């Protein structure tokens, strides 16, 4: 049954809700009208068809933009060149001139609104490659994962999960291209979920994203607390500082640096952190070939007594399914960067080029993981430790690794904390508690008080569960796996069904902002699903497989945490004894 503005409302496919048609919304084809109705991506009265219309217009416009030579310039900017900086400054200068001219005339045209909406969209696929690599690359758990899986299963699972992570990234990318526009920009994961499934999906994404960032801070507090404990232990192997005190030291540093509110001020620090991690990777591989493993640390965390080093082609003897799944979860954790893919695409000059940077990054990351994992596991076998640089025995090299990791870890923890606090402030503070904007004076004061609270809670969780491998497996299963593997196929199915179920009679009229849709029933959903039957069927299988893996991962990690507390030499909650000995 056709519905139009004259009938008073149209059926929104998101949960079958009814939305009012907004009549007389004037939209110019080139460019669209930005003076009325420009939203933050959460506007309730915008239909799926309208999102599609403006997304198509934006993609066509972006095809006219040239990025020749600019992808590489983002990579060379890491080495200190100023080419990209000059390009951005030139664009911003042109933007400032446009705004100045507009203000002097006292008129804001659709063209100026369009240019203003694209002011932050300057990144190219080269920048995406660097940013994805910065966010995802973290191979220090890979040798431990190989110790749980063996050579064959370890390589196979890292390859399979790497390919699936790339495929899921492509699914997200396609949804982004179909829903993002200059008029209705997609700013985060929750925006895509909202536009396909409704408000409940956005809330689920926001809650899980907040939990993931929070637990990432907890993990960094634990790992760097262990590093401080090792640093406090002199070469004579006297008793180190109390482990809880080490956690407090890192927490206090995070509370101070975490007061920085703008991510722009972290850029130089984040760049340095990448090269610190690269050095630690190379150093660890060089050291393990000529030294013994850190037997004491391995016994304290895994109760594995000192003995001959053993490596296996298949699953190591004595490892059960739960051990294998915990090792598998490290692969999930290692590839868990899709949480921020939408944020990266939102700042791209041409989001359609995102796949180039993502595929290059995934291939590069895969080979880093495999090479590092194979080298360390070959020399340390079942004694491979997580993180790997704390499993090397010479105290001097431990110190180098811990100092550099402490610096890069503090930067990473503050970045995760910064984003996590902003998500909570926007969803809970602004949405439910009616807090003022974060940029206001009151908002800044709330930030100052909330940062210590956030880090204090992260310290409590970290001190209560000082088990890096098991806790990271839980985070991977409960949060990271959802964003990287479970949600993308589910979003893709919903997007395909909504788009492919449209008939010739369905259309959005940009001249008056009205929508005509021939009803929204189960028959229409089935029709939309059948258009891309094989792709949608595979995505259903992918979604179900990821869901089962997540359930098994959460069960195995929780079981392993419980077992670790009852094993010989285990570490208790809020204990002065460090897991590294």
The 10s digit of each residue's pLDDT in 290-305 is 888 888 888 877 778 8
Per-residue three-class SS string for 339-390 = HHHHHHHCCECCHHHHHHHHHHHHHHHHHHHHHHHHHHHHHHHHHCCCCHHH
Which residues, listed in sequence order, are joined to residue 518 by a DSSP beta bridge? 2
Tell me which residue has tokens 């934006």: 58
Residues 6+ apart with CB under 8 A from 428: none
Whether the pLDDT of residue 316 is over 50: the answer is yes
Count other C-beta atoms under 10 Å from residue 484's C-beta: 26
Is the CB of residue 469 less than 8 Å from the CB of residue 564? Answer: no
Taking Cα atoms as reference points, which of 442, 460, 496, 471 lies closest to residue 558?
Answer: 471
Say whether pLDDT at 549 is over 60.
yes
What does residue 517 show for φ and ψ, rounded to 5 degrees? -140, 135
pLDDT in tens, 107-162: 445 555 455 555 556 677 877 787 777 777 778 889 989 998 999 999 999 999 99
* Range from 395-399, 417-421, 545-549 that averages highest in pLDDT: 545-549
In what helix (H) or strand (E) does residue 10 lie, and over which residues does it extend? strand 10-11
pLDDT at 80: 38
H helix intervals, 198-345: 199-231, 243-257, 267-288, 295-302, 321-334, 341-345
Grouping H, G, I as helix, E, B as strand and the rest as coil, residue 569 is coil
Give the pLDDT band of residue 3 (cuts 50, 70, 90).
very low
pTM, two decimals, is: 0.77
Q: Out of 138-152, 207-221, 260-274, 332-346, pick the least confident.
A: 260-274
CB 440 within 8 A of CB 434: no
Give the whole-angstrom CA distance, residue 214 versus residue 77: 31
Q: How confident is the model at residue 570 (pLDDT cuts 50, 70, 90)?
A: low
List, as one string, the DSSP characters of 64-83: T---TTHHHHHHHGGGT--H
Summarised one tens digit per residue, pLDDT across range 45-77 is 788 888 998 898 888 888 887 666 554 444 444
Mean pLDDT of 165-183: 92
Question: Is residue 395 pLDDT above 60, yes or no?
Answer: yes
DSSP character string of 495-546: HHHHHHT--TT-EEETTTTEEEEE---HHHHHHHHHHTHHHHHHHHHHHHHH
Give pLDDT, residue 233: 72
For 278-298, what is the mean pLDDT? 88
Yes or no: say if 496 and 532 are a contact pair by the CB < 8 Å rule: yes
What b/e sequence results for 443-476 when a residue is b if at least 16 CB atoms lie within 10 Å of its CB, and e otherwise?
beebbeebbbebbeebbbbbbebbbbbbbbbbbb
| Residue with tokens 């868990």, as numbered in its chain | 336
Total Cβ atoms within 10 A of residue 342: 25
Residues 6+ apart with CB under 8 A from 179: 51, 52, 55, 186, 191, 192, 195, 196, 495
- Report phi then psi at 509, rounded to 5: -95, 105
Identify whether the C-beta of residue 159 lies closer than 8 Å to the C-beta of residue 385: no
Which pLDDT value is given to residue 518?
67
What are the pLDDT digits (tens) for 328-381? 888 777 887 777 788 788 878 888 889 998 999 899 889 989 999 999 999 999
The per-residue pLDDT of the chain, averaged, comes to 78
Sheet with 514-518, side-by-side order of all strands: 2-3, 514-518, 507-509
Highest mean pLDDT among 168-172, 212-216, 349-353: 168-172
Nearest-angstrom CA–CA distance, 404 and 40: 40
Torsion sign over Cα 170, 214, 561, 372: positive
pLDDT band at 467 (very low <50, low <70, confident <90, very high): confident
Most confident option among 76-80, 406-410, 450-454, 515-519: 450-454
The first and second tokens of residue 512, run together, are: 């008056």
pLDDT of residue 452: 92
Q: What percent of the chain has pLDDT over 70?
A: 77
What are the φ/ψ torsions at residue 196 (nearest 5 degrees)? -100, -45
**pLDDT 10s digits, 91-107:** 444 444 444 433 433 34
Q: How far apart are CA 332 and CA 136, in angstroms?
A: 11
Predicted confidence band of residue 15 (pLDDT cuts 50, 70, 90): very low
pLDDT at position 581: 60
Q: What does the pLDDT read at residue 291?
A: 87
31: preceding bond cis by omega (within 30 degrees):
yes
Give the chain's radius of gyration (CA, Å). Answer: 26
């Amino acid at each position: 049954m056709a519905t139009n503005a004259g009938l008073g409302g149209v059926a929104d496919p998101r949960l079958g809700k009814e939305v009012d048609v907004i009549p007389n919304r004037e939209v110019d084809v080139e460019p669209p009208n930005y003076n009325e109705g420009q939203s933050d991506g959460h506007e309730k009265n915008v239909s799926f068809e309208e999102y599609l219309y403006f997304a198509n217009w934006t993609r066509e416009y972006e095809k006219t933009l040239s990025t020749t030579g600019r992808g590489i310039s983002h990579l060379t900017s890491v080495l200190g060149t100023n080419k990209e900086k000059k390009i951005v400054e030139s664009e911003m200068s042109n933007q400032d001139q446009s705004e100045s001219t507009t203000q002097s005339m006292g008129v804001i045209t659709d063209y100026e609104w369009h240019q203003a909406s694209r002011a932050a969209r300057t990144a190219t696929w080269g920048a995406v490659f660097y940013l994805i690599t910065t966010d995802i690359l973290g191979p220090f758990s890979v040798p431990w994962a190989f110790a749980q899986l063996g050579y064959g299963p370890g390589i196979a699972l890292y390859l399979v999960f790497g390919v699936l992570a790339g495929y899921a990234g492509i699914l997200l990318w396609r949804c982004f291209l179909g829903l993002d526009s200059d008029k209705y920009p997609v700013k985060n994961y929750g925006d895509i979920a909202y536009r396909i499934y409704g408000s409940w999906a956005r809330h689920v994404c926001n809650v899980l994203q907040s939990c993931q960032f929070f637990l990432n801070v907890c993990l960094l507090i634990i790992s760097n607390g262990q590093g401080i404990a090792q640093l406090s232990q002199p070469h004579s192997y006297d008793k180190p500082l109390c482990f809880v005190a080490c956690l407090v030291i890192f927490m206090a540093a995070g509370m101070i640096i975490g007061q920085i509110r703008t991510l722009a001020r972290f850029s130089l620090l984040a760049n340095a952190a990448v090269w610190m991690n690269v050095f630690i990777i190379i150093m660890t591989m060089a050291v393990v070939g000529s030294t013994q493993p850190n037997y004491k640390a391995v016994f304290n965390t895994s109760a594995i007594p000192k003995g001959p080093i053993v490596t296996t082609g298949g699953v190591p003897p004595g490892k059960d399914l739960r051990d294998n799944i915990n090792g598998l979860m490290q692969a999930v954790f290692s590839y868990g960067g899709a949480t921020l893919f939408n944020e990266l695409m939102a700042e791209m000059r041409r989001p359609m080029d995102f796949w180039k940077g993502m595929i290059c990054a995934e291939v590069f990351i895969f080979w880093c993981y495999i090479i590092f994992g194979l080298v360390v596991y070959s020399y340390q076998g079942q004694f491979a430790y997580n993180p790997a640089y704390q499993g090397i025995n010479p105290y001097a090299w431990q110190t180098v690794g811990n100092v550099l990791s402490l610096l890069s870890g503090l930067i990473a923890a503050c970045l995760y904390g910064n984003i996590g606090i902003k998500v909570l402030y926007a969803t809970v503070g602004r949405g439910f508690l009616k807090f003022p904007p974060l940029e206001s004076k009151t908002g800044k004061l709330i930030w100052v008080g909330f940062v210590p609270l956030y880090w204090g809670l992260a310290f409590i969780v970290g001190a209560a569960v000082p088990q890096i491998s098991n806790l990271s497996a839980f985070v991977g299963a409960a949060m990271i796996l959802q964003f990287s593997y479970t949600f993308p196929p589910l979003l893709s199915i919903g997007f395909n069904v909504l788009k492919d179920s449209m008939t010739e009679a369905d259309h959005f009229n940009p001249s008056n902002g009205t929508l005509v849709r021939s009803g929204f029933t189960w028959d229409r959903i089935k029709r939309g699903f059948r258009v891309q039957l094989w792709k949608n069927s595979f995505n259903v299988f992918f979604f179900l497989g990821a869901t089962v893996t997540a359930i098994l991962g959460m069960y195995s990690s929780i079981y392993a945490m419980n077992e670790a507390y009852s094993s010989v030499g285990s570490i208790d909650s809020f204990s002065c004894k460090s897991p590294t000995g």
